[in-house]
Structure 1
Amino acid sequence: MTASPGGEEPVDLALVGGRVIDPETNLDEVRTVGITGGRISWLRPEVPLAARTIDATGLVVAPGFIDLHSHAQSLVGARLQALDGVTTALDLEAGRFPVATSLDAIAQESRPINYGFSASWSAARCALVTGEQLPLGTVLPAFDSWQAPLTGRPVDELMALLESEIADGALGIGVLLGYAPEVTRAEYLALAQLAQTHAVPTFTHTRYLSNAEPGSSLEGMLEVIGAAAATGAHMHICHLNSTSSRQIDQIVMAIERARERGLAITTEAYPYGAGATHADAAFLDPSNLSRIGIGPTAILALKTGRFLRDVDELVRLRADEPDAEVIMHWADEKKPADRELLLRSLLLPDTAIATDAMDPSLHGVPLPRDEWPLPDGALTHPRSVGCYGKVFRWIVRELGALTLPEAVRRCSLRPAQILASVSPAMRRKGRVQVDCDADLVVFDPDTFADRADYAVQRPSTGVAQLFVGGTQVVRDGELDLAALPGRAVTGH
């Protein structure tokens, strides 16, 4: 083994011969990456003295991917994301309430990748309105009354609850506005003002999903931009691709002009022409489907694995199983016009890649905690399993719409930058630099690809090695099921 030049201390692990991509410094060269004690300790052409070496020749060594939008917070969900190159998966759109309770529960269970949450506006609102504490991990309250408009003192009480959550380490405020479209605009503005006061972002699922006025997708996006203009808050728009629908050109124009004027508007998207939600979502009301431009036969029920037959079946599903998970197909990626709509959101400058992952289930029943590998018949939206693999297969290699370094940036550095002001830990992630966290993905640039579709869930292929805080979670393409080094990412 080659001795360390200049007599430096040996490293714990050396990744030798890989193409190292650091999106912050624009490094894109063959280097040796050394890891010591959970941090990157070596980044040079030379090979240091190392307790262990891994040959990364022909592979890319990049920052681990940071998912800003993952509801797949179970052990199974985290394992699937690790095989897709993810080292940190955060639920910032829905969030959790109370955040501290969720962080403690996951710390006791352990995870292979890092985790963290925003303060859940919807769950806090439910607790205030109904007095019911939601089970941990519940994305949407099962009580219609949580959606009712609030005025006066209850709004102040809600803001106080969320303020306490920020103090407890929430990474901002998650706002599922699209699931409660009757909420007053004054309340949403108060949320933005609270975020600005505490220098944290909001993460918004916008109010409307429609191509028609009033109540269009454009109107929903303009509300977010308006709140940023009125308060100066950092406003993050979740899944730009799916909530923009076919108004993406006008929405992109509005976002770009807002940014030019100094407004803190950030965005995320995923490379699929279908979204996933619950059957009773407001925007899936049968009367709204024509405004989206779809019919009930575009909706797939995950419990049965088949598309709905007609509007009567949708009405029954919404009434009998309101929490049933469904996939809504709104764009056909094989059609050039639809593909261009999708690419408009993905290619908007500085848009992060984020999955909106959901935990897999079997016939509508959540999987046991330690279930691995996935049983036959387990289903979820393929974005939950192969989002990043699809970016590199489809967007980078097949379409050539992003360069490989730019794709790495949007999957790692960009999400870290979005959170840098609220979480000091994020200033050490999304980078391959000395003293940064050793959250690293090593993948084959020619074979990294998704294998999941709407019928079968198969983990991505092409991730050779994955490190979280210097601990190896994926070894030669296989998960180390005993490796559970994930840590909480918290605010301020």
Structure 2
Amino acid sequence: MKTRLGIAALASILLASCATPGVVPAEADLLIQGGTVYPGGAEPFTGDVAIRGDRIVAVGPQLHIAAARTIDARGMVVAPGFIDPHTHMEGWITADDASRRLVEPFLMQGVTTAFVGNDGGGRIDIGNLLASAKARPVGINYGSFTGFGTIRAKVIGMDRRAPTDTELAQEKVLVKQAMCEGALGLSTGLFYAPQSFSKTDEVIALSRVAGEMGGKYDSHLRDEANYNIGLAAAVDEAIAIARDGHIPVHISHIKALGVDVHGMAPAIIAKIEQARAEGLSITASQYPWNASGTSLVSSLVPLWAQDGGRTAMLARFDDPAQQTRLRADITENMRRRGGPGSLLIVQGKWRGQRLDAVAKAMNTDAVSAAIAAIRQSDAATISFNMAESDIEAFMRQPWVMTDSDASTAHPRVYGSFARKYAVYVKERKVLTTREFIDRSSATVADWFGLADRGHLRAGAFADVVVFDPQTFASRATYEAPEQTAAGVRDVVVNGALAVADGKLTGTAAGRALPHTPPAGSCR
């Protein structure tokens, strides 16, 4: 793991990393010593990281610094704390239980910062969410998007129609309000009702408001398969939003979902590369699993049947006149997903069983079983629907970051970053260690504008992970998803040890990370 650099190069790193150029600090609170240091955006070297308070004060080879505490990191990788740009962890960071607010699944993978409010589900009252970290300490740093789904539901409800001029103006006001309270930008989940009832021009209008205030647009695409407009057209829509909304666009958990679109990754990559070559700021992120996580309704029920919300949907289930169309569409959606055997229910009465087994237990066909299960609840569901060739093709792109899309009962909550390293760096060699680290830290921080994070350098916030390159791996599985990762030895969040010798310390040093709009834009 050790990389040799010339004396001049090492001297340059040391001088550049000191708080005052050319001056090495006399003391530190914490010295991480002798590890293979990946600074984030630069080549690794064997050396030390010195921390005082919540900041890094020096990074370099053989720092001669007295420290109150020293961590022997020989044989370990020392990297910037990982940053997860797409999660569903708001329930963890706002929990009543202080131990849950530590967010153990993330800390034990070296994740020190996460974004919430994705897929269009973000709050409007961002200020309250960000303020809660002071009264109710959290283990990781976090920022939040405001959500198109939340805003549209508040203004229009669950109806399948375009907004009136007055309603569109109200939506814009809510986007601006959230941005002024510190939202990172606008997120959408255009596949999900009621967002799926929107047209592109509505999304562009709201994105333009967020863009004018320095925000980003984060999206679960309108289609990742061929449910409605198709994957290629959904990517075209995201590009149009970047162009006409004048906003940087991030495509979350990029994938080719379902048997009909397997093998499309090269064509999608080419589309995005062309848009980037035109000067548009477009990136993506990805979780390293071949199964997605959603719900039975989202997986199987056609959008027309979701119009008006759950009550209206259940009424359609009971309408004999609609049964032929409904069952045909559910059958087709099930085929897209790879059949009933590809759908694992992970919540509720049928937790841990695949849909074909549920149908057998009910002594009925898979469509009838799905409808019966949905009547009970819209259970979380894991869908095995991706091809490894597509996963690896997307992963190789320098503009594709690491995310978890952390959600109920999926191993990606506890193991995404660890699995990506163990499987795609060590085992399959799809990425180098540096590529994995950069796209899990520096690339994310730089594109999303997280000042002084994502890098190990003097003046940066001291978010650091120390992991064993031989044992860092996911222990979470689809059958047993709630197992913490192996191999992370130490984690520092804002200068405080959150994990020491492979165990949580109980310290909650995370902070809320509000976005600051341009001066005068919130008048």
Q: Same fold (TM over 0.5)?
A: yes
% identity of equivalent residues: 29
Q: Which amino acid aligns with 1:307?
A: R
In the alignment, which of 57, 70, 89 is matched to residue 41 of structure 1? 57
Show the 5 A alignment for 1:1-80: 8-24=25-41, 26-45=42-61, 46-73=63-90, 74=92, 76=100, 78-80=103-105
Instruction: List per-residue Cα deviations over 1:243-301 (Å, max 9, x = no partner).
Output: 59523222111001111111111110111111111222266542552573522321111
Q: Which residue of 2 aligns with 1:118?
A: 145
Q: Which residue of 1 aligns with 2:155?
A: 128
Q: Quick one: structure 1 residues 15 and 320, their matched pair in 2 at CA, closer, same or farther if it must change by over 3 Å?
A: same
Are 1:475 and 2:519 an aligned pair? no
Instruction: List per-residue Cα deviations over 1:195-220 (Å, max 9, x = no partner).
Output: 322221111111123247x6211111
1:270–1:346 contact (8 Å) kept in structure 2: no
In the alignment, which of 371, 388, 400 is matched to residue 315 of structure 1? 371
CA distance in 1, matches of 2:437, 2:490: 16
In the alignment, which of 100, 112, 116 is matched to residue 91 of structure 1? 116
Q: Which amino acid aligns with 2:413?
A: S
In the alignment, which of 196, 199, 203 is matched to residue 184 of structure 1? 199
What TM-score do the two structures reach when normalised by structure 2?
A: 0.80
Instruction: List per-residue Cα deviations over 1:91-110 (Å, max 9, x = no partner).
Output: 15232232112223344322
Q: Quick one: structure 1 residues 284 and 356, their matched pair in 2 at CA, closer, same or farther if it must change by over 3 Å?
A: farther
Are 1:166 and 2:179 an aligned pair? yes
Q: Which residue of 1 aligns with 2:235?
A: 221
In the alignment, which of 451, 457, 462 is matched to residue 475 of structure 2? 451
CA distance in 2, matches of 1:148, 1:71: 28
Q: Quick one: structure 1 residues 262 and 329, their matched pair in 2 at CA, closer, same or farther if it must change by over 3 Å?
A: same
CA distance in 1, matches of 2:383, 2:165: 37
CA distance in 1, matches of 2:147, 2:160: 14
Q: Which residue of 2 aligns with 1:271?
A: 288
In the alignment, which of 118, 124, 130 is matched to residue 103 of structure 1? 130
Q: Which residue of 1 aligns with 2:461?
A: 437
Show the 5 A alignment for 1:246-261: 246=262, 247-261=264-278
Q: Which amino acid aligns with 1:413?
A: A
Q: Which residue of 2 aligns with 1:489?
A: 513
1:344 offset after TM fit, Å?
Answer: 1.4
CA distance in 2, matches of 1:147, 1:103: 32
SS at match of 1:327: strand
Q: Which moved more, 1:247-256 or 1:101-110?
A: 101-110
1:319 offset after TM fit, Å?
Answer: 3.3
In the alignment, which of 317, 327, 330 is matched to residue 385 of structure 2? 330
CA distance in 1, matches of 2:331, 2:167: 31
Q: Which moved more, 1:98-107 or 1:251-260?
A: 98-107
What TM-score do the two structures reach when normalised by structure 1?
A: 0.85
Q: Which amino acid aligns with 1:161?
A: L
CA distance in 2, matches of 1:282, 1:437: 41
Q: Which amino acid aligns with 1:415?
A: V
**5+ long unaligned stretches in structure 2:** 1-17, 94-99, 303-329, 357-365, 517-523
Count of residue pairs brought into register by the alignment:
440
Are 1:204 and 2:219 an aligned pair? yes
1:92–1:203 contact (8 Å) kept in structure 2: no
Rg larger in structure: 2
In the alignment, which of 218, 233, 243 is matched to residue 247 of structure 2? 233
> What is the root-mean-square deviation of aligned Cα atoms in Å?
2.1
SS at match of 1:12: strand
Q: Which residue of 1 aligns with 2:340?
A: 296
Q: Which residue of 1 aligns with 2:438?
A: 409
1:327 offset after TM fit, Å?
Answer: 1.0
1:53 offset after TM fit, Å?
Answer: 0.7
SS at match of 2:86: coil
Q: Quick one: structure 1 residues 42 and 209, their matched pair in 2 at CA, closer, same or farther if it must change by over 3 Å?
A: closer
Q: Which residue of 1 aligns with 2:188?
A: 175
